[in-house]
Amino acid sequence: MQTSRRDVLKLAGATLASTAFPAIIIPNNAFAGRNAETLKVGLVGCGGRGSGAAMQALKADKNVVLHALADIFPERFETCLAGLQKVHGDKVQVSEERKFVGFDAYQRLIDSGVDVVLLATPPYFRPVHLAAAIKAGKHVFCEKPVAVDAPGIRSVLETAKLAKEKNLSLVSGFCWRFHEPKRAVFGKINEGAIGDVMAIYNTYNTNGAWSFPRQPGWTDMEFQLRNWMYYTWLAGDHIVEQAVHSLDMMSWAMGDVLPVSAIGTGGRQVRVDPLYGHIFDHFAITYNYANGAKGFHFSRQQENCERSYLVETFGTKGRAMADCSRNVHKVEGANPWQFSGVQNDMYQTEHNELFASIRSSTPINNGELMCNGTMLAIMGRMAAYTGKQITWQEAMNSNEKLGPESVNFDTLTPKIEVARPGFTPFF
């Protein structure tokens, strides 16, 4: 094991973690609609984030139980359950027959009588899992990114429409959208505090992440699934899997207007061992907006380098800073301002708002937002991999499907080579 994923995330939470969070306040109308009903939660993907999401779901509402788990690796259940049982005791009601294992485990979980499904597998699986959950009438918490390629995004957009028709809540794991200091600073930008937005500089420069050395008996597929974040078809590359947060905030600063094109560069300079699959270790992308504004994105996963995780927005009347590592949120220029409100645990707020929406029968649908955020990152990857300028329309219409139609441990892994700008074609 190398640097753990927690260490990577520390970059994001360094200051937040040391800030005392206030008690969670559940809105007064939270138990209005379906108030007496026990809501049964099922978790698909019982790793680090999924276990965290289940913890938050159980805390978000008095009358919620964890009903079922699904994963392809059964040993994940025990670690996941141990932490949850310690904190939530009787709210954890996962019997042995509701620990579903395998590539169809998500469907069996959906069919097991759950009301809410938490989706936290590697993103390649998300479009299919989400479609199944919404089709079956379940409310969903859906981790980012929501897909790894344009066909996946188009599928999620269709599913999001269906969720709307069925009055189901679909809450996204773009967690900064639930962070009060970010809501405040991007709110200021959107209200015009820095004038017209001219440029947005955003970063996700971090160190490496974990990896699992190959064990005897693993097929190539099992090896890739255990090391999923190093395979573009499973994770989308780190610009899609991690740095997507900064791109989503770039979009927020632009009032969620979409860029017309992207051009950029990237490569695999330090992390070149085959253990690290075929993803890049750095990206630099420029996003061009119709009004002339530009978004400049830098992301890097390299050890012993300067770290940074921020979005700095420059406008005609000033500039605004949203620094995730240092928890700084301020505006300078004509309308100076600094966040001085109450800090919140954004991961908890995601679930508080999800469950409150279910109770009050006022569904939240983050579908389009989470597709656009993910697509910005996919578009950046396309520009860096091919070396070409890619328009939003080209990216959205792309027919490049990165993974196989379905997967099991014996499925042949897709033949994907490390991209070579100027040679890698755009589909």
Ligand X SMILES: NC(=O)c1ccc[n+]([C@@H]2O[C@H](COP(=O)([O-])OP(=O)(O)OC[C@H]3O[C@@H](n4cnc5c(N)ncnc54)[C@H](O)[C@@H]3O)[C@@H](O)[C@H]2O)c1
Number of residues that bind ligand X (CB under 6 A): 26
Q: Pick from 39, 46, 132, 285 the residue near ligand X by CB under 6 A.
A: 46
Q: Is 248 in the site for ligand X (CB under 6 A)?
A: no
The H or E element spanning position 44 is: strand 39-44
> Which residue lies nearer to ligand X by CB, 67 or 144?
144
Closest approach, Cβ 162 to ligand X, in A, equals 21
Are 57 and 66 within 8 A, CB to CB? yes
Q: Is 421 in the site for ligand X (CB under 6 A)?
A: no
Q: Is 173 in the site for ligand X (CB under 6 A)?
A: yes
Single-letter amino acid, residue 106? Y
Query: How far, in Å, are 188, 292, 293, 335 from residue 198 at the CA level?
Result: 15, 7, 5, 17
Query: How far, in Å, are 140, 177, 221, 356, 377 from residue 31 at the CA level?
Result: 18, 24, 45, 7, 37
Q: Is 349 in the site for ligand X (CB under 6 A)?
A: no
Closest approach, Cβ 173 to ligand X, in A, equals 4
> Which residue lies nearer to ligand X by CB, 51 or 286?
51
CA-to-CA distance for 386 and 419, rounded, in angstroms?
A: 7
Closest approach, Cβ 195 to ligand X, in A, equals 31
Task: Enumerate residues 128-157 that contact ligand X by CB under 6 A.
Answer: 143-144
CA-to-CA distance for 228 and 151, rounded, in angstroms?
A: 20
Interacting stretch for ligand X, rule CB under 6 A, among 102-110, 312-320, 337-345, 386-394? 102-110
Q: Is 125 in the site for ligand X (CB under 6 A)?
A: yes
Residue window 174-193: x/- pattern of binding to ligand X, with contact defined by CB under 6 A: -x------------------
How large is the greatest C-alpha to C-alpha distance in the chain, in angstroms? 64
The H or E element spanning position 344 is: none
> Which residue lies nearer to ligand X by CB, 73 or 427?
73
Are 319 and 328 within 8 A, CB to CB? no
Q: What is the DSSP letter of 292?
A: S
> Using CB atoms, what's the residue nearest to ligand X?
47
Q: Is 230 in the site for ligand X (CB under 6 A)?
A: no
Q: Is 44 in the site for ligand X (CB under 6 A)?
A: yes
The CA-based angle 124-206-264, given to 5 degrees, is 70
> Which residue lies nearer to ligand X by CB, 52 or 315?
52
The H or E element spanning position 179 is: none
Q: Is 49 in the site for ligand X (CB under 6 A)?
A: yes
Closest approach, Cβ 271 to ligand X, in A, equals 18
Q: How many CA atoms lie within 13 A of 283 on its CB side?
A: 37
> Which residue lies nearer to ligand X by CB, 192 or 414?
414
Interacting stretch for ligand X, rule CB under 6 A, among 110-118, 119-127, 179-187, 190-198? 119-127
> Which residue lies nearer to ligand X by CB, 50 or 403?
50
The CA-based angle 144-149-151, given to 5 degrees, is 110
> Which residue lies nearer to ligand X by CB, 43 or 419?
43
Q: Pick from 42, 50, 152, 380 the residue near ligand X by CB under 6 A.
A: 50
> Which residue lies nearer to ligand X by CB, 129 or 359?
129
Query: How far, in Å, are 33, 73, 248, 252 from residue 255 at the CA level?
Result: 32, 41, 11, 5
Q: H helices within 227-327, ranges in order?
A: 232-235, 238-241, 244-253
Q: Who's near 257: CB < 8 A, 6+ residues apart?
A: 251, 289, 290
Q: Pick from 2, 3, 5, 258 the residue near ligand X by CB under 6 A.
A: 5
Q: Is 367 in the site for ligand X (CB under 6 A)?
A: no
Closest approach, Cβ 348 to ligand X, in A, equals 13
Task: Enumerate residues 66-95 that contact ligand X by CB under 6 A.
Answer: 70-73, 76
Sheet of 294-301, strands arranged across: 337-338, 328-333, 318-323, 310-315, 197-206, 294-301, 282-288, 261-267, 390-391
Q: Is 403 in the site for ligand X (CB under 6 A)?
A: no
Q: Which residues bind ligand X (CB under 6 A)?
A: 5, 44-50, 70-73, 76, 103, 105-106, 120-123, 125, 143-144, 173, 175, 241
